[in-house]
């Protein structure tokens, strides 16, 4: 049987680096490894401090501007409560004192919801008309039709109603002012001839623990975003 000789390698393992001597014209293996690592460097996180070529916008600023454009703004809600009384026998439109609010929309695309709950009494059988005005111009009213009043809401009470009775006048209207400037909304009233409209009290205003009362009226503006 033939004998097989096994020779053990006793050489030295050489670690390659940029300083390892190489034959002329041979690239340094250390440099080759470094180039390989450089090609796999993870991308930088961009910020306002990241150096940029001259004339190049900061990516941090661009990202901040993008975030600012998508910040959610809270809608405005304004309210007023009228607790004292008011009366008018005018057959022309008059402001109801205190039922007035001003708002500055945050965008020209904002809408404004006007809500009002008015406690109304009257002296005789008759009609009381109510309307909303924005900067002195009536809005949220019916179409013109001959001599008919253009109103937001009208209320009629007949002779059968007792003098201590009060009923609510409810108003809701979504306005589109298309403005980012201050806007003032008011509630106005107009009475039928020979009739007096009362706010927050009855016509007889009885001083009684049983039937006498004082009420409140409210007005609310709510900004609505598109």
Domain ranges of the chain: 77-224
Phi first, then psi, for residue 70 (nearest 5°) are -115, 15
**pLDDT at res. 156:** 87
Conformational region of residue 161, where left means phi above 0, alpha means psi within -120 to 50, and beta covers everything else = beta
pLDDT tens digits along 99-146: 999 999 999 999 999 999 999 998 877 899 999 999 999 999 999 999
State CA 54 to chain mean position distance: 40
Write the class of the CATH domain 77-224. Answer: mainly beta
Query: Are 85 and 188 spatial neighbours (Cβ–Cβ below 8 Å)?
Result: no
pLDDT tens digits along 20-66: 555 555 555 555 545 555 555 454 554 555 555 565 555 555 555 54
Q: Which of 182, 65, 164 is nearest to 123 (CA)?
A: 164
With 0.85 as the threshold, say if the pTM is over it: no
* Residue scoring higher pLDDT (52 or 207): 207
């Amino acid at each position: 049987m033939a004998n097989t000789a096994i020779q053990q390698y006793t050489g030295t393992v050489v670690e390659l680096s940029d300083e390892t001597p190489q034959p002329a014209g041979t690239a340094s293996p250390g440099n080759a490894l470094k180039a390989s690592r450089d090609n796999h460097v993870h991308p930088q996180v961009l910020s306002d401090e990241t150096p940029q070529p001259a004339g190049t916008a900061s990516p941090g600023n661009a990202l901040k501007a993008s975030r600012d454009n998508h910040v959610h703004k809270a809608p405005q809600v304004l309210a007023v409560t009228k607790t004292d009384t008011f009366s008018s026998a005018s057959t022309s439109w008059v402001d109801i004192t205190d039922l007035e609010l001003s708002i500055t929309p945050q965008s020209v695309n904002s809408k404004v919801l006007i809500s009002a709950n008015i406690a109304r009494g009257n002296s005789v059988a008759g009609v009381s008309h109510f309307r909303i005005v924005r900067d002195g111009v009536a809005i949220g009213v019916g179409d013109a039709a001959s001599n008919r009043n253009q109103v937001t809401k009208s209320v009629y009470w007949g002779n059968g109603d007792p003098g201590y009775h009060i009923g609510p006048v409810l108003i809701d209207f979504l306005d589109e002012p298309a403005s980012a400037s201050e806007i003032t909304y008011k509630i106005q009233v107009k009475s039928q001839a020979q009739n007096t409209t009362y706010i927050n009290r009855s016509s007889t205003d009885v001083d009684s623990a049983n039937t006498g009362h004082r009420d409140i009226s409210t007005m609310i503006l709510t900004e609505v975003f598109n």
